[in-house]
Amino acid sequence: MIKAKTSLTKTASKKVVAKKAAPKNAGPKPAAKEITPSKSESVKVISQGQDVKRVTTAPRLAKGTKVVSTDINGVGRRKSSVARVWLSRGTGTLEINGRTLETYFNTLANRSDAVKALELCGMQKAYQLKINVQGGGPCSQAGAVRLGIARALVKHNEAFKEVLRKGGLLTVDARVKERKKPGQAGARRKFQFVKR
C-alpha cells in the first residue's frame, strides 16, 4: 500500500508542474493605454490587465487660492494637530491657514517654535511656505508646523537632514495627554480618602 501512495503523489506532482509551466509560454501582455488629461482636471489611471479605468477628480481649490506646489512636501503631527506644509523657493513669506505667522500664533514661544527648523538651517528668507493646520491647540499646532517644515526642508535638500536631526526636529513628539480612568479624579489623581 505504501508503494501505491508514492506513485500517486509522483503523478499528481507532474500534472501540477505541467499546468504551471503552460502560462509562461503565453505571448507578451498588452501594454496599458496612455490617457492624456485635460488642463482642468487631474486624472488617476488604474490599470487592471487589459482594461484601463479613467477616474477623474475635480480640483478642490477655490478660484482665489494660489498653490505653491501640487504635492504635499511635509506633514507634521503633534498630539491631535496635523500640519501640511507646501514649500518652494521664494522671499520668505509664511502663510498659515491664510494668515501670517504673527497673527496666527499670538505668543512669541509658539512663533519661534514653529519656525525653529528654518532658523536652524539659516533659510528664513530663502523659502516661501504655505501651511494648513487642523486640530489641537496653539502649542500642539506650533509643534506640528515645526515638524512639517523640517520634513519639507529635508525633501527639498537632503543636506539639511544632519543639522535637523542633531537639533531634534525630525523626531516626532509622541506624548499625548493620558486618559482619565473610571473611579478616579483624573489620569493618575485619586479622590481624597475619607477614613470615617
User: What are the extents of the domains in the chain?
Assistant: 74-166
Q: Which residue has the cell 501505491?
A: 4
Q: Dmax of the chain from CA atoms?
A: 89
**What CA–CA distance (Å, rounded) separates 145 from 148?**
5
What would the pLDDT profile of 57-103 be if each residue is shown by its tens digit?
A: 444 545 555 544 445 689 999 999 999 999 988 888 999 999 999 99
Q: Which three cell numbers stand for residue 187?
A: 489620569
> Is the domain covering 74-166 a CATH 3.40.50.11540 domain?
no
> What's the pTM?
0.62
Ramachandran assignment for 98, one of left (phi > 0), alpha (psi -120 to 50 degrees), beta (any other): left
Query: In which band, very low, low, confident or very high, does the pLDDT at 23 lie, cut at 50, 70 and 90?
Result: low
Work out the average pLDDT over 13-18.
49
